[in-house]
Chain A
Amino acid sequence: MIGIIDYGMGNITSIKNMITYVGGDATIVSRPDDLRQMDKVIIPGVGAFDNGMKKLEDKGFVEVLNVIALEDHKPVLGICLGMQLITKKSDEGGLSGLGWLDAETYKMQNTQNGKALRIPHMGWNIVKVVKESPLLLGLTNESRFYFVHGYAVRCHHREDILSTCDYGGEVVAIVQKDNIYGVQFHPEKSHKFGMKLLYNFSQLAS
């Protein structure tokens, strides 16, 4: 069973809808105790970094998440803000992130090489696979995903990056550090491409 954390941030109903649609089992989890029993965990999230971190803290999820990700080594997937929360820190706020990934979250600039760039990066973008992973089975370099974000992740280790997209330069789209995954886009809003990715996640060994 995949536990989708309900900490009041983001559109979790649609994540559950899509996992169910591709034949997976998912449930929305609002209590940290229930999370321990899950095989896999999704950290969703829309909104501001500090607000997200604070809500995870306040609801008591941080401790149990650390156990699941770092001791139990169960697959964990951060979506959008959820991916940013697994980095060490963000330009968007002062709180520390979960810090599982040696990376930080930076504010995207609205000019690039002197050209204006609209921020947030909002829309469908083609994602380029730079490293193979079971999460990406069946996804080609023609796969497109729906992005909505004004902050992005900078990895300190190239090998943590599974795929990138181009928006006024390279933007990290998917990361993996052992059992920990993050996607900057919204698979739950990305038609068949998102279905493939969430199906792959549901099939990972835990």
Chain B
Amino acid sequence: MLRTRVIPVLLLLDKGLVKTIKFSNPRYVGDPINAVKIFNEKEVDELILLNISPSRRETGIPLREITDIASEAFMPLGYGGGISTMKDVYAVFQSGFEKIILNTAAWRDRELVKMAVAEAGGQSVVVSIDAKKNIWGKYEVYVDGGRKSTGINPVDYAKEIEGLGVGEIFINSMDRDGTQLGYDEPLITSVAQHVQIPVVACGGAKGVEDFVKAVRCGASAVAAGSYFVFYGKHKAVLISYPDYGMLEEALTL
């Protein structure tokens, strides 16, 4: 049977890779091409590149840069950040990525999601949901790089998104982002329970034991940022990926 996918998430800001904490304080962690080469050598299951520049700088999609990044990668690749028209959708697929990740655009324009699904098939369209707990302890979906609340709860939103035919939901806990305090298990559980399509958990992973926990919550794949780029208690930048045998033992269904 299938082993749970373990996915490094790289954040692109301008020309460099960064890692945030709770969506703030981007810290430079390296050059994207170099990082992708290393992850390629380590035979990672999949790689996600989230370009956080468009939501912060109102820039477009840096097609030349992401084409160069894709040419170094012989694993599944997803791209998100600034995709807002079908023209963008085509351009990202053309550049060598096989999954597009929609966040703010999916919220604003459900028709875009439907058109992307009709064109590329659901398996190539991922909707990413940034969720945060409000002061009353209820989860809310945020858009625009985590700056704008939508007032809707992630479960209702995930169900609606599933109905549009997307192949996968990427659920990211803003509260846990960069903290390495473990995944937001109630959030993952509630979303995974209410949809049939694969759910990718993100936000807070510190180690393989967190991956296992997310799987028990119903995640079909686990994603992380800090865990793959930082090492040790002083968080020195060092790219790593767990050994295949270790993941197989921990995560085979």
Contact = CB atoms under 8 A, between A and B. Distances in A.
Decide whether A and B assemble into one complex: yes
A120 interface: yes
Nearest to A144: B3
Interface stretch (A94-102, A130-138, A146-154, A172-180): A146-154
Contacts of B3: 123-124
Residue among A10, A122, A192 with max Cβ neighbours from chain B (10 Å): A122
Given A11-B97, A123-B3, A191 B70 contact: no
A194 interface: yes
Interface residues of B, number: 37
Contact of A191 (B43, B93, B96, B123): B43
A62 B135 CA distance: 60
A139 B141 CA distance: 45
Contacts of B123: 46, 120, 122, 148-150
B131 interface: no
Interface string B59-78: 00000000100110111110
Contacts of A116: 196
Interface in A115-131: 116, 118-125
Contact of B75 (A48, A118, A125, A146): A146
Interface of A: 10-11, 13-14, 17-18, 21, 46-48, 51, 81, 110, 116, 118-125, 146, 148-150, 166-167, 186, 188-192, 194-195
Contacts of B140: none
Contact of B76 (A13, A18, A125, A186): A186
A85 B28 CA distance: 45
Contacts of B221: 122-123
Interface stretch (B113-121, B142-150, B205-213, B224-232): B113-121
Given A125-B2, A186-B76, A11 B121 contact: no
B34 interface: no
Given A122-B123, A124-B5, A186-B76, A14 B98 contact: yes
Given A17-B71, A120-B122, 4 more contacts: A118-B198, A148-B123, A190-B74, A191-B43
Contacts of B76: 146, 148, 186, 189
Interface of B: 1-5, 40, 43, 45-46, 67, 70-71, 73-77, 93-98, 118-124, 167-168, 196-198, 220-221
Residue among A18, A47, A121, A150 with max Cβ neighbours from chain B (10 Å): A47
Contact of A189 (B67, B75, B220): B75
Contacts of A167: 1-2
Q: Is the interface of B mostly helix, strand, loop or mixed?
A: loop
A47 B124 contact: yes
Given A46-B123, A191-B75, A122 B1 contact: no
B96 A11 contact: yes
Contacts of B67: 13
Contact of B2 (A46, A124, A186, A191): A124
B106 to A, nearest CB: 18
Residue among B67, B73, B75, B122 with max Cβ neighbours from chain A (10 Å): B75
Contact of B70 (A14, A124, A146): A14
B120 A123 contact: no
Contacts of A188: 74
Nearest to B67: A13
The 8 closest A-B pairs by CB, nearest first: A47-B121, A13-B96, A11-B98, A148-B123, A120-B123, A123-B2, A189-B76, A191-B43
Given A46-B124, A167-B1, A122 B167 contact: yes
8 contacts: A10-B93, A13-B95, A14-B98, A47-B124, A124-B2, A148-B76, A189-B74, A191-B43
A56 to B, nearest CB: 16
Contacts of A14: 70, 73-74, 96, 98
B198 A189 contact: no
B5 A48 contact: no
